[in-house]
Structure 1
């Protein structure tokens, strides 16, 4: 119908109000038709010069709106009443699933793959107890001769034992000096290259 923006707004408001009257106010078909007639008289074509500025639809547009409501809402009014008023049974479709928890190792079922279970289940039911590892280590230490144990204890000692703070400072100073000298040399080379480049540019500018 080539409605304007205001006409679209009024038309959508009209549809919303008709559904509101049906859904909330439980208005009958006869009352809805009467209500539509009163509203269309206000927003329809003017009957006098006084309310001409408040009109939004001409006669053709008003008849088209009424025809549309007649074949859509009013023709299926009982269907809309059933949709808004009647309670329908909710069908819930579900499936029961049995979940079998992993049993401790040594049962009738074989151990599952480690990649297919979570770490919590694996550490609780499948992983060997930590007490066994501690017991094996203790037995191994008892079987090792005392000479090897003493050598192991010596190897585990702090390697800085026997050095004073002054010795450590002197070693760190030498290492730091070597590193700083290398960095300083590299910086000086880069500065020299940049200085030569700037000097060449200055000479070009002087010649220009």
Structure 2
């Protein structure tokens, strides 16, 4: 329509007022059309001075504005009412991911797919160390049959041969004492730290 800047400003004000009537005042379609008719009827050179702000549009422009509002706002009035009045469920778009930690090798848990991770991680944390049979086979290939037979015979021997029950009890008692002494020392250090902290709090309370 080649509106001027002032005409554009008035046109946007008219749109804002119509939406205000719908959203805030909750006017029905009939009342909003009636309000628009009263405003547009004031357009004309012979009208009183109180409507001077709307006299910037001529009759042709006013008809074009009404036609535009008819095919935009008024034609979809129910849609605008639904938009402003109806409460809609808020949809939160997101993905919840649950990470399951791989259990130790001795736990009855299936190994993860090898192709699902890099070779470095698989070989460092997942791949099981070679078994004793594999090591023996590798040594058999490097060593001669006599050395292999000697190590096999040695491995079949009991590792506790030559030790009495008293020797085993003494060794286990010594290992247990070493572990308990370390734990007891750590507990004493923690208790001492807590005691110093409580004493500091008590001194602050006394000063207060």
Normalising by the smaller structure, the TM-score range is: 0.3 to 0.5
Q: TM-score, normalised by structure 1?
A: 0.45
Q: TM-score, normalised by structure 2?
A: 0.45
Larger Rg: 1
